[in-house]
Amino acid sequence: MFCQLWVLALAGLAVAVASNFRLSLDEKFTLDGNYIETTLRIPDASLRPEDPFRNIALLYRFLGLSEAADLAAMLSLAVFGVAVFAALRWDELARLTPVGLCVITACYLLAMIYLAQYSKEFASLLLIAALLWVPAGLWWEAALVVGMVGYAITIRPYWGIVAVLYVARRLLLPRLRGLLPVLVLAALTYVGLQFATNQFLGQSLSHSRVAVNAIRAEINVSVGSLIVDFLPAVDSLQWLNALIVLFSLLAPWPLLLDGSLAFLAMAVLLTFLWGLVFVSLVRVQRERSSSLAGATLDSRHAPLAERAPRVERAIALLLALVVVQAIFEPDYGSYVKHLAPVLPLFIELLPLSPGRIGDNRELSVAAEAATPSKVVQP
């Protein structure tokens, strides 16, 4: 009961303080929010695919929040709370570990920093809540992909690549065993993206990130956590450079070089969260292998299969997203900001104590849910 009340209190407190929290933040955290607020004052509310700020402003207008920044902040945190309770349902919250409670608390703090204001991430937050709430089924999966494509067209273009990679990982991850094939898949993804950007766009794979940081340098915008290419600008090394940048996002060692306590805490949290993703992936693979072999699942741990398809969706989308972020994110601040709306997906993967789950019948049902057919079939 304590865990449930703690998370419920966090959700209520976040919504309660959301309207004033942004006022205490440094200006660098509210630049986008302020610009969206300015955009909301433009009389012409037409949708323009080339202007994401105008498009997210249109969504806020549709919700009646064009002159209600405080309500918009509260709504964002309320939706975040809905996504958290979709990630872990009420009875599952009771089986959280102390580490899980600390992670959820940290996630709420990041949500208040990055989401409690007008934000382009509000649209992706709605998408994440839907991903965690909708049931299994091919049509639901298709609807989620359509939502990702719509988000890409109107607000954040690289989500078009995320949508494609999400579909690929939903199909391929159930058939892979071990982490090495997953990393090989990431490397092959970069090889394919390198070919596409070089041949069809005439650009390097990291062109977008390099261009953004070059513009910042020209207008003298100081950013303390830039993401830079680790290898020389050689065409044949673009995919390998992207792979190294990916590792620097999964375990952000560059943040440790700054010596800042805040950067240290962020590096530790990010490393833990991505470690959780890969540990969960291995557990899903083992549960699937056990079910195919007719073995009984280990009752010492609550099987992830009992949370299918939420777990499989979370892993697939998180891996698809971070692979793309390694190409586009200009700095670690932007990286964390764009991770903020998907934090409930990490919460979905938090380990739970077995609790009352231990009955052989329930374990057999969980094992059945872990089979590949349950992952991709309606």
Domain count for the chain, please give it: 1
The predicted structure's pLDDT at residue 323: 97
pLDDT digits (tens, 9 = 90+) for 55-79: 999 999 999 998 899 999 999 999 9
Task: Indicate whether 375 pLDDT > 50.
Answer: no
pTM of the model as a whole:
0.90
The predicted structure's pLDDT at residue 212: 84
Residue 230, φ and ψ in degrees, nearest 5: -90, -20
Residue 352, φ and ψ in degrees, nearest 5: -120, 145
Task: Indicate whether 47 pLDDT > 80.
Answer: no
Task: Give me the domain span that covers residue 119.
Answer: 2-376
Tokens found for residue 256: 């440790």
**Of 209 and 345, which is predicted with more confidence?**
345
Mean pLDDT within 350-371: 53
Task: Indicate whether 369 pLDDT > 50.
Answer: no
Distance, CA of 168 to CA of 156 (rounded, Å): 20
The predicted structure's pLDDT at residue 249: 95
pLDDT digits (tens, 9 = 90+) for 293-304: 666 655 566 788
Distance (Å) of CA 119 to CA 36, 60, 131: 7, 10, 20
Sorting pLDDT into bands at 50, 70 and 90, what band is 1? confident
Mean pLDDT within 342-349: 97
Question: Residues of the chain with pLDDT > 70: what percent?
Answer: 88
pLDDT digits (tens, 9 = 90+) for 25-36: 888 889 899 999
pLDDT digits (tens, 9 = 90+) for 200-245: 888 989 888 888 877 766 654 445 578 888 888 788 889 999 999 9
Mean pLDDT within 86-97: 94
**Of 220 and 47, which is predicted with more confidence?**
47
pLDDT digits (tens, 9 = 90+) for 102-159: 999 999 999 999 999 999 999 999 999 999 999 989 999 999 999 999 999 999 999 9
The predicted structure's pLDDT at residue 126: 97
Please give, one letter per residue, the 3-state secondary structure of the chain. CHHHHHHHHHHHHHHHHHHHHHHHCCHHHCHHHHHHHHHCCCCCCCCCCCCHHHHHHHHHHHCCCCCCHHHHHHHHHHHHHHHHHHHCCHHHHCCECHHHHHHHHHHHHHHHHHHCCCCCHHHHHHHHHHHHHCCCCHHHHHHHHHHHHHHHHHCCCCHHHHHHHHHHHHHHHHHCCCCHHHHHHHHHHHHHHHHHHHHHHCCCCCHHHHHHHHHHHHCCCCCCCECCCCCCCCHHHHHHHHHHHHHHHHCCHHHHCCCCHHHHHHHHHHHHHHHHHHHHHHHHHHHHHHHHCCCCCCCCCCCHHHHCCHHHHHHHHHHHHHHHHHHHCCEHHHHHHHHHHHHHHHHHCCCECCCCCCCHHHHHHHHHHCCHHHHHCC
Mean confidence (pLDDT) of the chain? 87
The number of residues making up the chain comes to 378
pLDDT digits (tens, 9 = 90+) for 296-340: 655 566 788 888 899 999 999 999 999 999 999 999 999 999 999
